[in-house]
Amino acid sequence: MTSRSESLESKILLYYQFTPIADPQAVMLWQKALCESLGLKGRILISKHGINGTVGGTVAACKQYRKRTREYDGFHSMSFKWSNGGADDFPRLSVKVRDEIVAFNAADELKVDENGVIGGGVHLKPEEVNKLVEERGDDVVFFDGRNAMEAEIGKFKNAVVPDVETTHDFIKEIESGKYDWMKDKPVISYCTGGIRCEILSSLMKNRGFNEVYQVDGGIVRYGEKYGNKGLWEGSLYVFDERMHMEFGQDNDPNFVQLGHCIHCGVGNNKFNNCINEDTCRRQVLICDDCYANPRTAHCGREDCQEVAEAIAQKEEAEKAEAQKQGA
């Protein structure tokens, strides 16, 4: 029997599957109608290579969605991750057809079949990651498959962090020659939940990286297994309003603090938007104390600094005016 509290409980589902989709438009319409009928909100992308989605709603609706979605041949074995949250965590339902379910600008290069991406890196379970490092030692290179900023608060020990602002930059980066030294080394690519490395590892192999691996289930799965006691250091950047999550308990003595406020240097894992929102989209590590003051709510760029100063002066003038009128 389901209790009242259980039936009212909400959750978020995260999932992806690489599989050939002959008619992405038809799958999009079906998924849209399915989500609408179940009252789910969230974001779903569909391409000829597969599906990538995050939806939230009641537990009953999520279960029904999972069951119905798996009825599609290519999605039969898709695994779904459960996360805390619900429909309210999304502004709306968005179901779209795109060239790519992750934007690497590699739509024509990526090849998939019913088993997933063709020619990707070997999947390593968390314990296999550790085993490879035990066996091959310093020869093993961890290669961060995320945007560089995400690694500011957490990464694998001694990982190489490419100079990447968005996944669009990866091809140029791995073709730059900067990483040719690792072409004959064991390279373990990793990202949040694994989807980006499915593609990245295949692009690397196509460009002469000979021994490429990927962490199965990504950092999330590795962190669930080892917490702060493995080869991972720091926090994990996440793409929702939490912005970051920790493995292990608060004040875990094994936790390694990588992130620091760019203004005062205090240990900080929270990204904030630069105050110059009109022309700067940067998310930067600024602690809550510094962020509360407009003078230290900017990313450090010169023009942003000027905007911050102007906002601070305007606020001060307004405060002085209010005091005068109150007196």
State which residue, 117 or 304, has the beta carbon closest to Zn ion.
Answer: 304
Cβ 150 to Zn ion shortest distance, Å = 18
Using rule CB under 5 A, residue 102 touches Zn ion: no
Using rule CB under 5 A, residue 274 touches Zn ion: yes
State which residue, 58 or 276, has the beta carbon closest to Zn ion.
Answer: 276
Binding Zn ion by CB under 5 A: which of 29, 246, 301, 305?
Answer: 301
Q: Which residues contact 145 (CB under 8 A, 6 or more apart)?
A: 170, 189, 190, 191, 196, 197, 200, 201, 214
Binding Zn ion by CB under 5 A: which of 11, 146, 244, 263?
Answer: 263
Residue 102, both tokens: 């992750």
Q: Which residues contact 127 (CB under 8 A, 6 or more apart)?
A: 225
Hey, which residues between 280 and 299 contact Zn ion (CB under 5 A)? 280, 282, 287, 290, 299
To 10 degrees, what angle do helices 59-69 and 24-38 make?
160
Using rule CB under 5 A, residue 307 touches Zn ion: no
Binding Zn ion by CB under 5 A: which of 8, 33, 256, 264?
Answer: 264
Q: Angle 183-168-305 (CA atoms, 0-180°, nearest 5)?
A: 115
Cβ 31 to Zn ion shortest distance, Å = 37
**Whether residue 274 lies in the annotated active site:** no
| Alpha-carbon 54 to chain mean position | 12
> With CB under 5 A as the contact rule, which of the stretches 17-25, 72-80, 151-159, 269-277 interacts with Zn ion?
269-277
| Sequence-ordered strand ranges (E) for the chain | 10-18, 41-47, 50-58, 80-84, 93-97, 112-113, 116-117, 122-124, 141-144, 154-156, 186-190, 211-215, 232-234, 236-237, 244-245, 271-273, 283-285
State which residue, 182 or 304, has the beta carbon closest to Zn ion.
Answer: 304
Q: Which of 35, 62, 191, 287 is catalytic?
A: 191
Residues that bind Zn ion (CB under 5 A): 261, 263-264, 274, 276, 280, 282, 287, 290, 299, 301, 304
Task: Give the residue numbers annotated as catalytic, written as ranges.
Answer: 191
